[in-house]
Structure formats: structure tokens, C-alpha cells
Amino acid sequence: GTLISAVLLLFRQKWRMGINRSAEAMTIFSVIQAGLFPIIHMGRPWLAFWTLPIPNAYGSLWVNFNSPLLWDVFAISTYLSVSLVFWWTGLLPDFAMIRDRAVKPFQKKIYSLVSFGWSGRAKDWQRFEEVSLVLAGLATPLVLSVHTIVSFDFATSVIPGWHTTIFPPYFVAGAIFSGFAMVQTLLIVMRKVSNLENYITIQHIELMNIVIMITGCIVGCAYITELFIAWYSGVEYEQYAFLNRATGPYWWAYWSMMTCNVFSPQFMWVKKLRTSIVFSFVISIVVNIGMWFERFVIIVTSLHRDYLPSSWTMFSPTVFDIGIFLGTIGFFFVLFLLYSRTFPVIAQAEVKTILKTSGDNYKKMRDKNG
């Protein structure tokens, strides 16, 4: 979401104004869920602070700096920090507007604190534009590097199906693909529930569908490249890993992934379909499901059969696995609903600058009301 907003800002795309706030919020709430998983999987979350390099009676306990998991900690924490600052910077003018309109003293005080003394002077707007551009310029390469580092969790291992150099661009394309799909899912619902049809228009939905279609083609190209390289390398273990994915016990997961991520976005070539609200919503849900299957295929099918047939097994999720998965989805939507209830979901200060008819409508209302 941060990448979507930052890139559109750098390219001066005006249609960004209707979707940037929710896209950035989605990123922050998603990263919070990602940060919960390592803590939950420790088994004793209340002892998570033991992993921190805190001096104790046994000397300082240091983490393994050669581990890709530690690289993830630095990458994702930096990602969260920059995304939060980028998001909050865009909120400042709207917080100030709410502060000025607030009636209750407590509400006025809270919004005064979070607006950081915004006064709306020309100097404030100049600094706002400059800082937004700088943060967008920082966030774009940062997001690319974050997904690259996450892909190193797999690419730096020697497990067949993981040890491949295509993973960094593959993960970046997949992140943009799934990010636009999730933004589409949230905004179509918000558009209907909050009566935002004039701000999140059919044009926004169509343009997001075009990006989903393009990135879906890139992800499909990555899938085909994986298969080709496995064959071209001549490594029997790599060939078996990918053959097992497509024809083994988890063939249904692999072909579900291919159907959802590669074939379903191709419907967006038809203008009538990509401008349909209902169809766009269905495809965005299908893509989200497909990206979950992609993670399932990458992890489970590569691990359930290794070099020793005696250790082959099938993965069966327990009730705790399902509960954690559903719980994080619920927690994400709780945060998003709280955000939509308390924060402006549309960048009002920025939208006003691109409304061509706002001045004419104001004059008509003024003349009508005397």
C-alpha cells in the first residue's frame, strides 16, 4: 500500500487522492499482523523479550546476525516506521481541519496534539509537499528492498524450490499484485458503505484493475520461469520439487494458485468486466485467495518431501493454526474499522485540489441560499 501511494505520488497521478489514505493504512495494519506471527510462534509470547540483546546475569544475549530472520526484523521495522510517518504526514491537514471544527473540548485537544500545530499557512503547505516527496522517494526503494530481503528467507537456503535468484523480483511483483487486490477489496466495500462514490469512482477501480492485470501477468511469467529454470538446470532435485508441486499430493493448491493468480486477472482485458463493481470485487477476493495459496505452495510443498523418503509427510493444520490465521484476519479488520471510524478515509485536503467543479458548486449553493 505504501509503495502504491508513493509511486503514484512521484508520478503525479491525480487518481491517487481517492485511494492513498486507505492503501497506506492497510500496509501499517498488515505489518502489525506480520510482526505478531514470530511472537506467537515462540510458544511463550510473554518471554519474547528474551530475544532482545538485554544485559543479564549471563552476559548480553545476542541474536544471530547471519540469519535472514534477523534481516526481516530490521527491514520490516524500518518499513513500518517509514510507512507510519508517510501516512501520518498526509493526515496532518485533515487532523487540523477536524480540530478547527471540533465542538467538544476533549476532542479538540486530541486533534490539536495529533495535528502537530498545523496552521494551514503557505509555509506549512510548502513543507508538506517537500516532506511528502522526500518520504515517497525514500519509501519506494525501501519497499522494494523489504520484499527482496523477505525473499532471502527462502533464496539463501539450499532447499529445492527455494534456492533461486528469481525470488526477489518475484516477491516484489507479488506484493504489488496482492496489494492492489487488497486495496480494491477494501475500497469497494468502503465506497458503498460510506457513500464515497463521488471520490472512489469507476475510473479508480478500472485503473486498479489494469495494474492487477499487468502484475498478474508478471507473476505468471515468474511461475513459468521457475518451471523452465528447474528443467534447464538439469538438477534432478529441483525438477522433482516442481513436478511434485504440479502433480503431487498438493496439486490442488498449485493449480488453485495458478487459476487465481494467472488466469483470473486475464478477464480484466475486457473493459466491460474491469469497470464492473461486482466483478472487480470478486476478482480481488480471488487474487487474495490465490496469493495465500502461493505462500502455502512455496512453504508446504517444498518441505513436506525432502531428500529422504522416510521423512516424507503431509501437513495438516491444527485448530490452533486455523485460529491464529483467522484471528489475525479479524484483528486486521478491527484496526481498519477503527481507522475508518476515527480518521478521515479520504485525503480531503488533497482531493479539494483536483475537484474541477468544487468552485462552481460553491457559487451555485451561495446564490441559492442567498
Summarize pLDDT for 244-272 with one digit per residue, the tens. 888 888 899 999 999 999 999 999 898 88
Note whether 284 and 215 are within 8 A (CB): no
Cα separations in angstroms, 216 against 156, 199, 283, 284, 285: 25, 26, 12, 12, 14
Place of cell 506480520: 34
* pTM for this prediction: 0.82
Other beta carbons within 10 angstroms of residue 109's beta carbon come to: 11
Structural domain boundaries in the chain: 1-46+61-152, 157-315
pLDDT at site 191:
84
Other beta carbons within 10 angstroms of residue 194's beta carbon come to: 13
Place of cell 505489518: 31
pLDDT at site 193:
84
d(CA 270, CA 215): 16
Contacts of 31 (CB under 8 A, 6+ apart): 76, 79, 80, 83
Task: Give the rounded distance of the alpha carbon of 22 from its chain centre.
Answer: 11
Tell me: pLDDT of 355 over 70. Answer: no
pLDDT at site 56:
66
- Report the share of the chain in percent with pLDDT over 70: 92
Of these ranges, 43-52, 130-139, 142-151, 257-266, the one predicted with the greatest mean pLDDT is 257-266
Tell me: pLDDT of 362 over 60. Answer: no
d(CA 329, CA 326): 5
Of these ranges, 51-65, 108-122, 331-345, the one predicted with the greatest mean pLDDT is 331-345
Tell me: pLDDT of 75 over 70. Answer: yes
First to last CA, the chain: 44
